A and B are shown apart, each in its own frame.
Chain A
Amino acid sequence: MRARNSRARRLNATAMLCAAFAGLSTTAAQAATDEEIVLCTIDDTTGNLAAMSTPKTWGYALAVEEINEAGGIMVDGVQKMVKHVQYDGQSDVGRYGQLTQQCIFEDEADVVMAGYTGAEREAARVEAVRNETIFWHNNQGEGGIADRYSFFSGPTPEQQVLPALEWMIDEFGPRMTFIGADYNFCRAIGAWVRTAAGLYEGDLVMEEYFPFDVNQWQQTIGEIQNIGPDFQVHCLVGGDQVQFYPQADAAGLKTPAWSNVTIADGYEHKIFPAPQLENMHVPPGYIEDVPGENSEAFAAKIRERHPDAPYVNEHAAFGYVAVKAMAKAWAAAGTTETEAVIEALEAGVTVEEAPGGSWSLVGDQHHAALPTYLFKVEADHSLSLISELGVTEPSFLSDIGVDVREFGSGDGETYLPTDNPAWADFFAE
């Protein structure tokens, strides 16, 4: 009896403590929203996507630090600091919806930025959009998402697949093979590769998609060797699929290859021993090998704060850019009120200090005009810049007659190359 009593007392005490903490944290959050602007970010800092996503949190933190050091942002007649609330998605897509709700309702976020994979992005984005909160996704994406509350800082296939494959076809010849992971992003990349083949007289002779846990590649390597393409296109994602590279190297498949998911996110050239990735071509919007003052300064700042960083990748840069863009929009709107901030963003925001080179949001697209670069992985795994692909203005949505500024709440749509009637022939088979 006594034991039970003391147990009950302990339970009660725990409950009281929890309640007290809950009370405290609510007050803290409320106090914060009055005096601070709240940026809520969700990224995978643990789990199997941590290698790619963690640098993004460094980019966010750096941008917030710089904004606050410069005195914050003038909104509603007061100079406010930016408060950064950061959650770990644990590489578990199931957490993104719930954490987004936490950002919106508990932290009263003024903007939510979340997700690496398309699945994570969509889980978070659905919640943000439903609650009419501004949402950003900050790494390369498949493009084509048109929605009033959603904004994208990273490069899209228009800026990566099209110009880079035009260069590859010119340089190596028209015959190409495509292998990719079987999910929405690589399926979309496959459609863009087909589009590039159509636009630049390429010939896509193989297109195959694989489950994520495929890690035996001999058969595919043999198939590609039999086809003997001028170059290969890859969209291999995750620790199992990238085992293609050591296996292809051991089997002697040395045909030039192109991939927009390799190096820019997971810095594979630092992880695989040379020369396993030799002759790979990649089109990032930013990696620390991008030349220029912005790039060097950014990489130096990140390295100063994270001396153990294996590589400063694309995520770090576009996380940083998105926060800088929001800061400019808040300042321009003079408020954090969502509709006014969207208007300010749609009026066009430019981040000149963007690490990859000047970056401008295109208002009617909610995607950005930004420069991309084509790098080649050398035999010793150094990267050489072989072509500056230049600044590509996104026009995919406007070409098919979509103006995101005209979208109301709940009007969101996602478009793929197959939605462009001018490209219908490329998908005719």
Chain B
Amino acid sequence: MDAFTQIFGFAFQYLDSAAYLILAALGLSIIFGMMGVINMAHGELMMIGAYITAFCMYGGIPAPIAILLAGVGAGIAGMILERLIIRHFYKQLLSSLVVTWGLSMIISQVFLIMFGPNMPSLPTPFSDIKILVGGEVGFALVGAEGFARVTGETGRMPPGVESFGIYRLVMFAVAVLMVVAVWLLLRKTEFGARARATMDNPTMANALGISTPRIYAYTFGLGSALAGIAGGLFALTSAITPYFGAAYTARAFITVVVGGAAGVINGLVASVAALGGVQTILSNLFSVYIGFVGMIAAAFLILLVMPTGISGYMEKLRGRSR
């Protein structure tokens, strides 16, 4: 394998890992990072998004709209949960953990009873378009016909050539757009200012005339909607089951905790850059298993050195230099 193929493969995996962590964690970074609710049902909100996407697409709605509807649906579901249950457990870390854990079990079990153990999977968009790198091909973007020409009758890749799907790159692009959108929303809009004020000091915010219960509900809804969109994006490349969300919850928590609560979005980006990098490097050098274990070990080490997460540490450094 030539150096270019190797570098391209490495970069592709890095973007893939980063997209995965950003999408899994962005909603939780609002709900846990900003609001301080240990939401163990985060994966289930993603699962709700996946199911909405699936039902919309069975009904012929195009994928981008289906995914947006998934965001709206999961957001509404999140707000209902917040009003009925979550709001009673603000500032009670352990209670919120137990309650949302219970919720996650109930939600997935209800979906199992209502829709059965498996839903027909969705086709991955752009799966006909592939990037070919290395060997006799060099670098090429090919459609189904071009791909068939390269692989010939055997369906096998010529030596030295690696192929990559486009959809994972689309996911990365969408993940970046979502991060930018959330940053703008929190930093540049009135809602963002009110939300940050409410999370910082609810009593003062209330005294200044902000309806804090409404802000809590909207903010939880925003986090849920982001989870729903992420669920919709993942639904296009995975099996859709009631337990779809479980694998994402743990990774989302690791990412958000490492990022820290001092700067939700900066922390998330730094955390994803670090953890995604560790995972990509180790799984290339050793194995996927070592990559995964290494990511958890890295999270552990980062938290040992920076107990308040990367953003907390940066804040502290900044405070010191002032």
Q: Measuring CB to CB, which residues of chain A are less than 8 angstroms from any residue of chain B?
A: 46-48, 50-51, 54, 182, 208-211, 213-216, 218-220, 222, 225-226, 228, 239-240, 242-243, 246-247, 249-256, 266, 268, 270-273, 276, 279, 310
Contacts and interface: CB of A to CB of B under 8 A. Distances in A.
B1 to A, nearest CB: 6
B294 to A, nearest CB: 13
30 contacts: A46-B109, A48-B241, A50-B117, A51-B117, A210-B289, A213-B246, A215-B238, A215-B247, A216-B20, A216-B288, A218-B168, A219-B13, A225-B163, A226-B162, A239-B241, A243-B239, A246-B124, A247-B168, A250-B126, A250-B127, A250-B130, A250-B165, A250-B168, A252-B132, A252-B157, A252-B165, A270-B120, A272-B121, A276-B124, A310-B118
A28 B214 CA distance: 56
Interface residues of B, number: 55
A211 B289 contact: yes
Contacts of A220: 288
Contacts, number: 130
Nearest to B287: A208
B247 A279 contact: no
B242 interface: yes
Contacts of A266: 118
Given A46-B112, A51-B118, A243-B238, A251 B16 contact: no
Given A273-B122, A279-B155, A247 B237 contact: yes
A270 B121 CA distance: 9
B140 to A, nearest CB: 12
B156 interface: yes
B13 to A, nearest CB: 5
B159 A228 contact: yes
Contacts of A48: 117, 241-243
A345 to B, nearest CB: 33
Contacts of A213: 246-247, 250
A254 B243 CA distance: 28
B289 A218 contact: no
Contacts of B292: 211, 214
B17 interface: yes
A249 B247 contact: no
B123 interface: yes
Contact of B151 (A54, A254, A270): A254
* Among B109, B151, B156, B280, residue most surrounded by chain A Cβ atoms (within 10 Å): B156
B101 interface: no
A219 B288 contact: yes
A219 B124 contact: no
A46 B243 CA distance: 11
A251 B163 CA distance: 6
Interface string B235-257: 00111011110110010000000
Given A240-B247, A271-B121, A273-B120, A218 B241 contact: no
B239 A271 contact: yes
Nearest to B126: A250
A249 B124 contact: yes
B287 A218 contact: no
Contacts of B243: 47-48, 239
B167 interface: yes
B252 to A, nearest CB: 13
Interface in B6-39: 9, 12-13, 16-17, 20
B89 interface: no
